[in-house]
Amino acid sequence: MPQARLTVHTDAPGPAIDPHIFGHFSEHLGRCIYDGLWVGEQSPVPNTRGWRNDLVAALKQIRVPNLRWPGGCFADDYHWREGIGPRAKRPRRINAHWGGVVDDNAVGTHEFLDLCEQIGCEPYIAGNVGSGSPRELREWVEYCNAASGTLADERVANGRRDPWKVRLWGIGNETWGCGGNMTAEYYAGQFRQFATYTRDFPNAPLYRVASGAANDDYKWTEVMMTLGYRGPLNPAPLMQGLSLHYYTVPGSWEQKHAASPFDRDGWRAVMSLGWKMDELVREHSAVMDRHDPKRATALVVDEWGSWYAVEPGTNPGFLHQQQTVRDAVLAALHLNIFINHCERVRIANLAQTVNVLQAVALTEEGGGRMVLTPTWHVFALYAAHQGAKRLRVESNAANIKHDGREYPAVSATASLAADGAVTVTLCNTDSEHSADVELSLPGRAITAPTAQVIAAKTLTTCNTFDQPRAVTAQPLAGVVTKGAAVQLSLPPGSVAALRFAS
Ligand code: AHR
């Protein structure tokens, strides 16, 4: 008797799943950029113009669609002119937000955009509103995107002939907090002013993302959609995206739980806090729907992920944490939520790419080895959804209750690719019991799918430099095809992907 019956409706494909839902975020924070992605050209670690080759390859493999930079909180303290021109002449600045370390500006606009070209992803630049000016941001856009004029000449002199045509621009970050401690009403005016001066250059229209709410601050979204959405005389929206930040923080902000070990309640706390994203996306979307019923503007979840206590012995300002299969399930839950709400959620960014928070990779200090985290393996399994059409999944899976909240024991998404293949991704959020699933695809002649699963014998196991493949995707055994249905068993606390060829 299956615990969950799932029906995938292949006859009525929904909207395309924007690949940008699978975006990432790299801040000048801890060892994300420096001694993470960036090792410098002189490093013994194999690199291309300073960027680690193994990391670039790992990011290409999961088809990273966009990378957000330079922050985070760092963005509103960052002055782009300090990061161009000869490196030896660039100023050395204190990174006031993250550990008070010196940032020598070795990575600036040219280097970051080179990284994006190496990965094959779109850059998503977060502009400085908190301590910058409309003119500074306007000139950054012009430096990147103009084909002629003094700023284009300067770019060419610095080694880049063609404009990069950067499309995605954040207009400030967390302006309610580290980005200026502004009220929503004040920032709405700031946004309109900055958005006006970040200009479109020929063949380079901008996608402006306003700094949005934290967590369940629906009033912020309401104010932005009322006062920040458009100018008084101009009916066209000024914002193409409005952001939302939400982290899964077990414990309290002051005393976060460790990434590992944890007990049953620790597992459940992460699942139930993570599932809150579903409510947040629905409620913020409902506010946006009232002002923008045609969904011209996207909800951009440009910071999400687990946030634990830092690993013992590491700099508290560096936010370095380990991961287990619990994070893989958390990542799958989030991606399922974004896919299920992809009419409105069209960009999202996991925090952060390497060595910081829910990273997809960890590197040894000072160079050396790299390890892929369980979360990387989830992004690898989910890459098949990029650009495919979402399929509705009906489920009778029970909910698990924890601490006054509920979340589904089995969460699922499905999509139909251009080549006719159907991908179904599932996660079992129950850490104690396997989930017997019957999955039917009525009206479709199915053959045995290829099936992979991310699971761990011991849920608290981490991938380490000595044991890099403790938690990876493996073939899922025991998938039985019966007519238009398959039966399978998901191990406790696991993520699976099934692919039905056309
Ligand atoms: O991702 C770490 C920090 O979390 C970011 O800098 C900030 O935007 C958020 O508070």
DSSP 9-78: ETTS---B--GGGGEEE--SSTTSTBTTTB--TT-SS-EETTEEHHHHHHHHHTT--EEEES-SGGGGG-
**Structure confidence at residue 1 (pLDDT):** 47
Query: How far apart, in whole angstroms, are the C-alpha atoms of residue 497 and residue 256?
Result: 31
Of the residues 390, 425, 457, which one is the last residue of a structural domain? 390
Q: Which atom of ligand 1 is nearest to the CA of 357?
A: 1
Distance 6 CA to ligand 1 centre (A): 37
The answer to whether 303 is a known catalytic residue is: yes
Q: Which atom of ligand 1 is nearest to the CA of 173?
A: 8
Together in a domain, 228 and 105: yes
Q: Is the pLDDT of residue 68 over 50?
A: yes
Confirm if 28 and 37 have CB atoms less than 8 A apart.
Answer: no
Together in a domain, 372 and 405: no
Contacts of 170 (CB under 8 A, 6+ apart): 68, 75, 124, 125, 126, 127, 209, 211, 243, 302
**Structure confidence at residue 235 (pLDDT):** 83
Query: How far apart, in whole angstroms, are the C-alpha atoms of residue 38 and residue 87?
Result: 14
| CA 474 from centre of chain | 24
The answer to whether 174 is a known catalytic residue is: yes
Q: Which atom of ligand 1 is nearest to the CA of 174?
A: 8
Q: Is the CB of 72 under 6 A from ligand 1?
A: yes
Q: What would the mean pLDDT of 98-111 be, rounded to a whole number?
A: 97
Helices 134-145 and 184-197: crossing angle in degrees, nearest 10, is 40
Distance 193 CA to ligand 1 centre (A): 24
The tally of CA atoms less than 13 A away on the side-chain side of residue 71 is 28
Q: Are strands 410-416 and 345-351 parallel, antiparallel or unpaired?
A: unpaired
Together in a domain, 395 and 370: no
* DSSP element (H, E) containing 304: strand 298-306
Q: Is residue 136, in this structure, part of any structural domain at all?
A: yes
φ/ψ (deg, to 5) at 136: -60, -40
Q: What would the mean pLDDT of 150-158 be, rounded to a whole number?
A: 98
Together in a domain, 261 and 381: yes
Q: Is the pLDDT of residue 497 over 90?
A: yes
**Structure confidence at residue 483 (pLDDT):** 84
Count the domains in the chain: 2
Average pLDDT taken over every residue of the chain: 96
Peptide bond into 408 cis (omega under 30): no
Together in a domain, 164 and 233: yes
Q: Are strands 480-482 and 485-490 parallel, antiparallel or unpaired?
A: antiparallel
The tally of CA atoms less than 13 A away on the side-chain side of residue 201 is 20
What does R_g of the chain's alpha carbons equal in angstroms? 22
Contacts of 40 (CB under 8 A, 6+ apart): 47, 50, 106
Q: Is the CB of 32 under 6 A from ligand 1?
A: no
Distance 303 CA to ligand 1 centre (A): 7
Q: Is residue 24, in this structure, part of any structural domain at all?
A: yes
C-alpha distances in Å from residue 226, one per residue of 2, 172, 197, 220: 48, 18, 20, 10
Q: Strand pairing partners for 490?
A: 435
Distance 374 CA to ligand 1 centre (A): 22
Distance 281 CA to ligand 1 centre (A): 19
Q: Are strands 122-127 and 102-103 parallel, antiparallel or unpaired?
A: unpaired
Q: What would the mean pLDDT of 390-398 be, rounded to a whole number?
A: 96
Q: Is residue 462, in this structure, part of any structural domain at all?
A: yes
Which residue's structure tokens are 């760092």?
74
Which residue has its alpha carbon closest to ligand 1 atom 9? 72
Which residue, among 352, 447, 260, 407, has the nearest Cα to 74 in the 3D structure?
352
Together in a domain, 359 and 413: no
Pocket test for ligand 1, best of 27, 128, 211 (most atoms within 8 A of CB): 27
Query: How far apart, in whole angstroms, are the C-alpha atoms of residue 132 and residue 139?
Result: 11
Pocket test for ligand 1, best of 98, 300, 303, 310 (most atoms within 8 A of CB): 303
Three-state DSSP class for residue 435:
strand
Q: Is the CB of 303 under 6 A from ligand 1?
A: yes
Percentage of the chain surpassing pLDDT 90? 95
Which residue's structure tokens are 């095809």?
481
Q: Which atom of ligand 1 is nearest to the CA of 179?
A: 8
Q: Which atom of ligand 1 is nearest to the CA of 247?
A: 4
Q: Which atom of ligand 1 is nearest to the CA of 319?
A: 2
Q: What would the mean pLDDT of 316-345 be, rounded to a whole number?
A: 98
Q: Which atom of ligand 1 is nearest to the CA of 25?
A: 1
Percentage of the chain surpassing pLDDT 70? 100
**What is the per-residue pLDDT across 84-101, written as a single tens digit (0 to 9) for each?**
999 999 999 999 999 999
**Structure confidence at residue 464 (pLDDT):** 97
**Structure confidence at residue 322 (pLDDT):** 98
Q: What would the mean pLDDT of 215-225 be, rounded to a whole number?
A: 98
Distance 73 CA to ligand 1 centre (A): 6
Q: Is the CB of 127 under 6 A from ligand 1?
A: no
Q: Is residue 23, in this structure, part of any structural domain at all?
A: yes
Confirm if 298 and 346 have CB atoms less than 8 A apart.
Answer: yes
Of the residues 339, 359, 390, which one is the last residue of a structural domain? 390
Which residue's structure tokens are 């479709």?
444
For Cα atoms 120, 121, 123, give the angle at the middle one, nearest 5 degrees: 135
Q: Is residue 14, in this structure, part of any structural domain at all?
A: no
Together in a domain, 359 and 480: no
Q: Is the pLDDT of residue 46 over 70?
A: yes
Distance 246 CA to ligand 1 centre (A): 10
Distance 85 CA to ligand 1 centre (A): 28
Together in a domain, 337 and 449: no
Which residue has its alpha carbon closest to ligand 1 atom 8? 72
Together in a domain, 380 and 470: no
Q: Is the pLDDT of residue 490 over 80?
A: yes
| CA 312 from centre of chain | 26
Together in a domain, 53 and 98: yes
Q: pLDDT tier at 2 (50, 70, 90 boundaries)?
A: low
Distance 432 CA to ligand 1 centre (A): 33
**Structure confidence at residue 445 (pLDDT):** 85
Q: Is residue 360, in this structure, part of any structural domain at all?
A: yes
Query: How far apart, in whole angstroms, are the C-alpha atoms of residue 300 and residue 318?
Result: 25
41, 174, 254, 394: which is the annotated catalytic residue? 174
In eight-state DSSP terms, residue 175 is: T
Residue 143: give its domain's CATH number.
3.20.20.80
Residue 421: give its domain's CATH number.
2.60.40.1180
Which residue's structure tokens are 């990391």?
55
Q: Which atom of ligand 1 is nearest to the CA of 27?
A: 6
| First-to-final CA distance of the chain | 29
Which residue has its alpha carbon closest to ligand 1 atom 7? 72
Confirm if 24 and 353 have CB atoms less than 8 A apart.
Answer: yes
Which residue's structure tokens are 């899964």?
248
Q: Is the CB of 73 under 6 A from ligand 1?
A: yes
Task: Give Dmax over CA atoms of the chain in angstroms.
Answer: 71
Q: Is the CB of 350 under 6 A from ligand 1?
A: no
**Structure confidence at residue 306 (pLDDT):** 98
Together in a domain, 246 and 337: yes
The tally of CA atoms less than 13 A away on the side-chain side of residue 252 is 2
Three-state DSSP class for residue 232:
coil
Pocket test for ligand 1, best of 245, 301, 352 (most atoms within 8 A of CB): 245
**What is the per-residue pLDDT across 236-289, written as a single tens digit (0 to 9) for each?**
899 999 999 999 999 999 999 999 999 999 999 999 999 999 999 999 999 999
pTM: 0.97
Of the residues 329, 358, 390, which one is the last residue of a structural domain? 390
Pocket test for ligand 1, best of 29, 73, 356 (most atoms within 8 A of CB): 73
Range of the domain at 450: 3-9+391-500
Together in a domain, 383 and 435: no
111, 139, 303, 438: which is the annotated catalytic residue? 303
Q: Is the CB of 244 under 6 A from ligand 1?
A: no
